[in-house]
Structure 1
């Protein structure tokens, strides 16, 4: 008999952004493996590619039952409207879960929004409902680092206690990295909860290695055999990309192109820095349609991921697995003992810079520009590690086994 699982998360199909893409892919894979998945989520808050109709509150997609809250306020408006949006979503999630608590064998709950686990905590305490937390970001540390609340403030201490209670009463907490697991272990040290690592993934049926790097995306940029250094993703303050632009300044006369694809709160600052330095071999582009992602990742010679040290364990740059799926080496600006740092060094599939200096980055890029066989070798290692460890099929199989064990 198939397990019936309720998934609580804010973003879901057709909102394939943030955690929405991962939760949708995971649900599709688990459904194919025989799990009966129902999702309760919020209305979309981001623009949806190629979607010109109202998103229904109740629908079925690839065998997945989807129910959406009818929220008040707007997620992208001022603080009052954001709070109203979050509050009404939480209240409706509570009542939906309460009404359907006997229909499901267990609940999977995400950390976006961070207080969603309060619903499952109440269900556990009052009705004995089993739940498992999928940890994508660690709170209140995430909010502390953003400056939303101060470290050791009353709000931060209350938030820490709430998070600890949610995690400690879960039947299992799923983390996406070894560095993150250490933080969760500390929060649950006095409980009997099981903490497990199931890494994020890339869909191996979508992203595949391209032998010919001179693909449609590279042609759109008007490029041929230049060495392309790609950063594709969000450009926020937590992404320490400035050293890459400083390196580009040192490489002005070389056949090396730096391409930044995406948006974020720090993008305008990076564009200004590039203009101030007159960097004519740096390109900034908006997020590309999902359909173009294979060509974007396949067009480069080396791809960049980054995470400021203070975010180690609090978040994991899962875009790395898409780079590995494309068979490209990874240049990482983050701690060597972080999940991604460990992955790169264990598999010899790229370079890790804990404290990247422009000179150091430039020297390495010059070295590989002159010897591209080394890049190709690291790219092959990257894809091999991906196929062995980070495919959607392998990660969803681990979720399936855990669901069978705990629910």
Structure 2
């Protein structure tokens, strides 16, 4: 019995893990809880400024958290290298696990995980949320073409050597298959909305005279912020009942705050990140929700805020590539609109359509039910359990 328990052990490696905020940390925590309930010993390595233990680990004896004190968010070359070295040292210094699962932050974590798994005699799974180093130029990292290609070659080599590659969408899966990775070692496991949205389901809010367009989540360099700003400026005086609500504290939010002050916009409101207990109520106050992704990031990421929008049954207006995972899902299900990046007028038209046409809004809202069947936490958990069990035989 002891040997069996020891064999079913997995180590997750990621930059963030609760109590630090981040969607990859959240899905790792929820998956870890599920795995421990199904007989797995789970450990997590993360970087943190505060060196705090996760409440998940404190409450579950089958879950161990190894926080590594590290200042910053691994945005500079030095911070990335230092963070990766700290992670590798920690992998080598703790007990052996059957499987090591690396996520994608910090960039090049796949290579550290591959080396650590080889030295520890463990299976290696790479869970691709953001495809690095491909995203670095889009995120405005200062890197030469020669160095970028070198990192790509190293990353692809280590991905090809991994025992399993888990992607979160079809466009990402297709992108990587075109680079020569063995399809038999790849599987798609979709991400999911926070479990808190299902466990703390808030009632529908009372009707108001405002039509709220909500953007909740990170707003960075891979997102088309300019189109949203242009639409808000155009609607500020013509439709004062339409209110844009931005939830978060990223650099993109700060930029929009500056633009609101600069142009004297009255239709933009900002809220800080919300605790899980209040998330459902907040999102349900939105009549429609925005998701955005630049064309250049096609196949390199899947915006995670979409899952939460579907969980609260609201139409989504997606500003991004039509051939992306979200573009395909929204078109096929009819749960919102797909707008080409930089098309301000199309975004305005979509917002006004849902503002004035109750049938269009209701049809899109009803279509979210089918999408929720795809992005269901339990379905993804079961796929993960099957994948990990198969690796240990």
What band does the TM-score fall into relative to the shorter chain? 0.7 to 0.9
Matched, 1:82 2:73: no
Q: State how 1:150-299 maps to structure 2 within 5 Å.
A: 150=143, 152-153=145-146, 155-189=147-181, 191=182, 194-204=185-195, 206-207=197-198, 212-214=204-206, 224-251=208-235, 252-254=237-239, 255-299=241-285
CA distance change for structure 1 residues 30 and 16 in 2, over 3 Å: closer, same or farther? farther
Q: Is the 8 A contact 2:218 2:249 kept in 1?
A: yes
CA distance change for structure 1 residues 250 and 209 in 2, over 3 Å: closer, same or farther? farther
Greater helix content: 2
Residue deviations 1:299-353, cap 9 Å, x none?
A: 0110000011111111110110001000101000001110111111111100000
What secondary structure, in the 3-state scheme, does the structure 2 residue paired with 1:143 have? coil
CA distance in 2, matches of 1:85, 1:150: 18
CA distance change for structure 1 residues 209 and 344 in 2, over 3 Å: closer, same or farther? farther
CA distance in 1, matches of 2:351, 2:116: 54
Partner residue in 2 for 1:119: 112
**Which residue of 136, 139, 147 maps to 2:132?**
139
**Which residue of 298, 319, 325 maps to 1:339?**
325
What secondary structure, in the 3-state scheme, does the structure 1 residue paired with 2:332 have? helix
Matched, 1:394 2:379: yes
Residue deviations 1:29-55, cap 9 Å, x none?
A: 22223322122333x238xxxxxx954
What secondary structure, in the 3-state scheme, does the structure 1 residue paired with 2:214 have? strand
State the 1:77 CA deviation.
8.9
What secondary structure, in the 3-state scheme, does the structure 2 residue paired with 1:313 have? coil
Q: Is the 8 A contact 2:10 2:43 kept in 1?
A: yes
Matched, 1:25 2:27: no
CA distance in 2, matches of 1:56, 1:335: 37
State the 1:259 CA deviation.
1.0
What secondary structure, in the 3-state scheme, does the structure 2 residue paired with 1:141 have? coil
| Structure 1 stretches lacking a partner, 5+ long | 47-52, 215-222
CA distance change for structure 1 residues 27 and 124 in 2, over 3 Å: closer, same or farther? closer
Q: Is the 8 A contact 1:144 1:151 kept in 2?
A: no
Partner residue in 1 for 2:42: 37
| Structure 2 stretches lacking a partner, 5+ long | none
Residue deviations 1:64-119, cap 9 Å, x none?
A: 42232544x522599587257415522423323xx533xx3222121112233333
CA distance change for structure 1 residues 290 and 58 in 2, over 3 Å: closer, same or farther? closer
CA distance change for structure 1 residues 170 and 376 in 2, over 3 Å: closer, same or farther? same
CA distance change for structure 1 residues 81 and 24 in 2, over 3 Å: closer, same or farther? same
What secondary structure, in the 3-state scheme, does the structure 1 residue paired with 2:178 have? helix
CA distance change for structure 1 residues 131 and 240 in 2, over 3 Å: closer, same or farther? same
Matched, 1:301 2:287: yes
CA distance change for structure 1 residues 272 and 38 in 2, over 3 Å: closer, same or farther? closer
Q: Is the 8 A contact 1:74 1:85 kept in 2?
A: no
Q: Is the 8 A contact 1:8 1:41 kept in 2?
A: yes
- Number of residue pairs matched by the alignment: 384
What secondary structure, in the 3-state scheme, does the structure 1 residue paired with 2:136 have? helix
CA distance in 2, matches of 1:110, 1:146: 18
